[in-house]
Structure 1
Amino acid sequence: MKLILTQQVSGLGEPGDVVEVKDGYGRNYLVPRGLAIRWTRGAQREVDAIKKARAAREIATLEQAREVAEQLGSLKVVLRSRAGSGGRLFGSVTAADIVEAVKGAGGPELDKRRIEIRNPIKTLGAHKVTVRLHPEVSATIDLNVAAA
């Protein structure tokens, strides 16, 4: 079965990739969950649109990724969040919150899907967050969560 991926599937491909999979896997898993659509000539236009959008937001070269990593390394990011007594947050810090905090601190525009939060951030204080900029380059952001 020939499918077009609409989301990243580990071990299979990125959005916009045309892949050949077994019929049962495509029909029972990928298509019902919205991870892929059936390939047709008309759907090929969708593939082109998905790839164009991915190329626009992706960091293309290793050199660009290293420049962004340097910017992020020298950045002081402070995220204000509501907290109760004892320094515990109401909820947790999300990748979207981190992207907004980096942008507010004068940093580059990041894709929230590239941010890796190993353990949920639920307390005030200093935390380290990893950003995958390129397959070979990742940066660490020093994030300080402060009470709002």
Structure 2
Amino acid sequence: MKVILTETIETLGIIGSEVNVAKGYARNYLLPQEKAVLSTPANRKRLEFEKKRFEIQIAKEKAFAEEMAKRLEGVACTIAAKVSDEDRLYGSVTVRDIVDALSRQGIDIRKQMVLLPESIKNLGTYNVPVRVYKGVEPEITVEVVPEEQSD
């Protein structure tokens, strides 16, 4: 089913794009949430009329993403974790741990933005990319250190 996006959806495309999606996805999610409209001649005509507004919104989103990328570039967060004698973590450091550590530093990002391929299971320093916008992925430094034991 062809729809026209009324907002940018990372997995589909940018605002104003005409995309082909499954009928159920369009009918149950995109259309009721007003994230898209059906691709009809009338809606295409309206899209052409609103193209300037979409271009301005895309430019604003891109500028905001680049500003956020500058703020994130070089950010480092330290996560304390319980370790065994061989310096292996008992659990693992996940995306949620990274988001929580960043929020304690005053940086609010969503879990979906952190591109951690797999959970961190060893002590050390890791570079983790954060997708702020399509094609804008600054890297943050995550340092996993042993938790202080209080005996």
User: Does 2:46 align with 1:46?
Assistant: no
TM-score w.r.t. the length of structure 2 is 0.61
Q: CA deviation at 1:90?
A: 1.6
Structure 1 contact 124–146 (Cα < 8 Å) conserved: yes
User: 1:26-81 deviations in whole A, cap 9, x for unaligned?
Assistant: 58xxx5xxxx36359xx844335xxxxxxxxxxx5222222222222232211112
Structure 1 residues 72 and 90, CA gap change in structure 2 (3 angstroms): same
Q: Which has the larger radius of gyration?
A: 2
Which residue is equivalent to 1:68? 68
Contact 1:78 1:105 (8 Å CA) reproduced? no
Hey, what's the Cα distance between the residues in 1 that align with 2:139 and 2:64? 16
Gaps (5+ residues) in structure 2? 4-8, 36-59
Flag the structure with higher strand content: 1
CA contact (8 A) 1:82 1:89 kept: yes
The aligned counterpart of 1:123 is: 122
Q: Which moved more, 1:87-96 or 1:66-75?
A: 66-75
In the TM superposition, what are the counterparts of 1:7-86 in structure 2 within 5 Å? 13=12, 36=25, 38=27, 44-47=31-34, 61-86=61-86
**1:102, 1:122 → 2: CA distance?**
19
User: In structure 2, do the counterparts of structure 1 residues 37 and 135 end up closer, same or farther at CA, with 3 Å as the change threshold?
Assistant: closer
SS in 1 for 2:138: strand
Q: Calculate percent identity across the aligned residue pairs.
A: 27
CA RMSD of aligned residues (A): 3.5
- Stretches of structure 1 lacking an aligned partner (at least 5 in a row): 49-59
Aligned to 2:100: 100
